Amino acid sequence: MKIKWFGHSAFLLTSERGTTILIDPYYRFIRYRMPSIEPDIVAVTHNHFDHNKIQAATGDYLLVNEPKEYIREDVRIRGFKTFHDKVNGEKRGPNIIYRFQMDDLTICHCGDLGHLL
């Protein structure tokens, strides 16, 4: 698996077979600017401007934006409902933690987790 960081919370995961996952795309954030990417999957942890700009992605991709299980080619993704704050989302809303399984590896992206697990 290759992991590329684009700044802030945005990453591109690429499996050995070439499946690509763009996580938490943004348009412009502080000093960072997202390149245009044609991924197979786009995962969004929550609906804030610095995590949900799916317009940075082109092509026909699977949108992953709910706390459920997704399977595509050589990738398995599971979303878990959490919150962006310590008061059950009352201040900043929901957040989704994603578990990505590919190439015999498991990694987790916590988005903007606002509380202890």
pLDDT value of position 86: 92
pLDDT value of position 33: 80
Q: Which two tokens stand for residue 3?
A: 């992991």
Helix, strand or coil, per DSSP, at residue 58 = coil
**In order of start, what are the domains of the chain with their CATH numbers?**
2-109 (3.60.15.10)
Alpha-carbon gap, residue 117 to 110, rounded angstroms:
10
Chain Cα centroid distance, residue 98: 7
Give the model confidence (pLDDT) of 33-71 as tens digits: 888 899 999 999 988 777 788 888 999 999 999 999 999
Alpha-carbon gap, residue 5 to 71, rounded angstroms:
23
Q: CB under 8 Å to 87, separation ≥6 — which residues? A: none
